[in-house]
Structure 1
């Protein structure tokens, strides 16, 4: 999610890992920037228009922006493990260790930001858990990861529904802090995996889909066109099936079904009901919603890859901010916590977007990596190098001397 250009770990352990040695896929960064813009819009702009209907911002971005963020996180993890040229052996083991370190640091940042009490659900701690769950999947093939994405998209919500009421939920739906984690670790684990706003187990559908996409050749226009077309079909099919099932199972009218799909109105049944599995409304975390938003994420990424040459000026404006979304997302949360322009949502949204784009361009050209991205990458790289050195030392260590064999001389 936060760094799409981690260099593959070199085959020889003697040379230290140099971060970001390979060329960035700017369309992925641009897509990540659009996801950030969408999430800021959902947090800041009104959910309803003046007529009482769902606002355009909510219809376009609710559920889809955060899903795109998660899918692109998987793409970045695929890049860190070799992309279309997967790592094997010691380099893969080092990459896994680096991802685990990255996950822990992102979780720490997320829990630290929770103390500022922004008026938004912080996604970073959930992302860290998803990164940890993705570590053993880094060496899998694209096909296997696509299958796992479907398994998580269907099985995750079923498991979620089965465990509702069984897993203890936190007394208040607050962002997770260090105090909450250490005071009640079981409740915190249940919140992160199942009961929270971005439950990691169902959301692994996005992570696996992104890993599968990141292992493809994203420089190929054919693959980009396949992503856009396949994603559009998947998104449309999931919505259509959900709409028909909500009419048949939940006994809604077609108009009510359409409103629920577009705006995520109050559900007509309890969310712990098995009937809720047919819903594809925003943030429902149900199978058809997960598949729909995987599809919309594929469309965005595919179209941006296709447009990266003809609209390179637009990509060049979006990509720098998209390469440092950890820094900019954290800044956005602190802006919300400060309460600045709280009564002027459109001015707040415009100011934050312009500031993010300008900061991205200037910082990228003058310094390079975003500040938080540089810190996370430095820690991840140190862990990779430590694993490589340990593996190298173990390989070079002589084996036990067999009886009768010549051993070292001495007393």
Structure 2
């Protein structure tokens, strides 16, 4: 069984600083304390290298899921990499995407007025460019596709997030909760009636042939449907409105994440595995035998989650995009991010992870293009090592010599130009002046 593709990290090309005045990162490099101590303008908060490091870890997990086996060939049990990263990496990436959007839209004090309009216009441009990169890569993918790319979906995430940039914390918290439930409900009720996509990856060809099916796939029926995934972006935006440098905030993020993940898993365990839910799945989905249902619960739907009964919305399979899965994976992402923020205070291991996490659009795009050669099928372990070594080496050296990754630099330039047009060429306020282009 081919494992579903996991998402790339937060491809926002946004910043990883926080605070009332922080909207962009400086040219800093990671330090052993997890924050950048490079001198900066007064009032600017230190760079949160731990956020980049979390992206880097997620990228490693994505590469592992794409290349390494999802099950043991002898026991057919899930492998360690699938258990750790299957589906969960996508949630972490989307969460970090929302976090970066918060940083680039004012941090703890959201932009207002014309500044907010300029930020929104820049986000639209960023979304369209990332989606265009994804469409181009998908055109080069062979059939069957070796990976299910997320870049086109990311473009939709960001477009849907445009009206969210000015919301306050309570509205973002409510939005995350509502979307985690309403998004899967929409997929469950509307999915069977929507046109089916022509390809597993959205392409220019599928867009031209059937725009309705293309939009349905990107918004509701695809592997990373934008409407349910918007709950992760709302949660990330909420995090970006907090002071992530405070230890108390970091500890609360970990605790909330652990409780949310355990609570969602317990709901699935109690209602599906103990209280008769599994029998309801068998009863209302007679075309699937017990082994096939177990495959969905362990490896996720292929391609779509059945809609024969509402009990399917209580399952927790990877990429099933049910309320239980969304909340469980959101909790896992929060716990990982909070742990990284805490550990970064005394752990010097962030240099490579941070460099990779700061150039994820470039690295993920190159990773997909390499997968298109399909050589990893016969040599998964060596090919995984090559991907990992090349990504780490490129990220560290490019950061040292050039700063932003090449694709990140191109997107950032377009975003800056758009902002200048909206602002009428006026200089930005001192509190939001950027020392370098956002990543």
TM-score range, shorter chain: 0.7 to 0.9
Q: Report the equivalent of 1:408.
A: none
For 1:332-343, what aligned pairs fall within 5 Å after superposition? 332-343=367-378
Match of 2:306 among 261, 267, 270: 270
CA distance in 1 between partners of 2:128 and 2:230 (Å)? 17
- The verdict on how the C-alpha distance between 1:120 and 1:271 changes in structure 2, with shifts beyond 3 A counting, is farther
User: Matched residue of 1:164: which SS?
Assistant: helix
Q: Report the equivalent of 2:339.
A: 303
Which runs of 5 or more residues in structure 1 are unaligned? 12-17, 393-411
Q: Does 1:162 align with 2:189?
A: yes
User: Matched residue of 2:206: which SS?
Assistant: helix
CA distance in 2 between partners of 1:384 and 1:75 (Å)? 20
Once the 2 structures are TM-superposed, how far is the Cα of residue 250 of structure 1 from its aligned partner? Answer: 2.3
After superposition, the CA RMSD in angstroms is 2.6
Query: Does the CA contact (< 8 Å) of 2:105 and 2:116 recur in 1?
Result: yes
Query: Does the CA contact (< 8 Å) of 1:90 and 1:391 recur in 2?
Result: no
Q: Report the equivalent of 1:78.
A: 102
TM-score (norm 2): 0.81
CA distance in 2 between partners of 1:241 and 1:357 (Å)? 39
Q: Report the equivalent of 1:45.
A: 68
Q: Report the equivalent of 2:147.
A: 120
Q: Which moved more, 1:344-353 or 1:19-28?
A: 19-28
Query: Does the CA contact (< 8 Å) of 2:100 and 2:240 recur in 1?
Result: yes
Q: Report the equivalent of 2:228.
A: 202
For 1:2-401, what aligned pairs fall within 5 Å after superposition? 2=11, 3-5=13-15, 20-21=25-26, 23-49=46-72, 50-117=74-141, 119-171=146-198, 173-247=199-273, 248-251=276-279, 263-264=299-300, 270-311=306-347, 313-389=348-424
Once the 2 structures are TM-superposed, how far is the Cα of residue 273 of structure 1 from its aligned partner? Answer: 3.0
CA distance in 2 between partners of 1:390 and 1:354 (Å)? 43
CA distance in 1 between partners of 2:415 and 2:77 (Å)? 46
Deviations 1:131-187 (A, max 9, x none): 00000000111221111001000000011111022111123x331122221222111
Query: Does the CA contact (< 8 Å) of 1:161 and 1:272 recur in 2?
Result: no
CA distance in 2 between partners of 1:218 and 1:330 (Å)? 29
Deviations 1:372-407 (A, max 9, x none): 000010001100110000799xxxxxxxxxxxxxxx
Deviations 1:108-149 (A, max 9, x none): 000000112051011000011010000000011122111100
Query: Does the CA contact (< 8 Å) of 2:301 and 2:319 recur in 1?
Result: no
- The verdict on how the C-alpha distance between 1:19 and 1:245 changes in structure 2, with shifts beyond 3 A counting, is closer
- The verdict on how the C-alpha distance between 1:373 and 1:266 changes in structure 2, with shifts beyond 3 A counting, is closer
- The verdict on how the C-alpha distance between 1:283 and 1:57 changes in structure 2, with shifts beyond 3 A counting, is same
Once the 2 structures are TM-superposed, how far is the Cα of residue 251 of structure 1 from its aligned partner? Answer: 2.4
- The verdict on how the C-alpha distance between 1:164 and 1:183 changes in structure 2, with shifts beyond 3 A counting, is same
CA distance in 1 between partners of 2:375 and 2:223 (Å)? 25
TM-score (norm 1): 0.87
Count, aligned residues: 381
Which runs of 5 or more residues in structure 2 are unaligned? 1-9, 27-43, 282-289, 428-439
- The verdict on how the C-alpha distance between 1:378 and 1:108 changes in structure 2, with shifts beyond 3 A counting, is same
Once the 2 structures are TM-superposed, how far is the Cα of residue 252 of structure 1 from its aligned partner? Answer: 8.2
CA distance in 2 between partners of 1:222 and 1:272 (Å)? 45
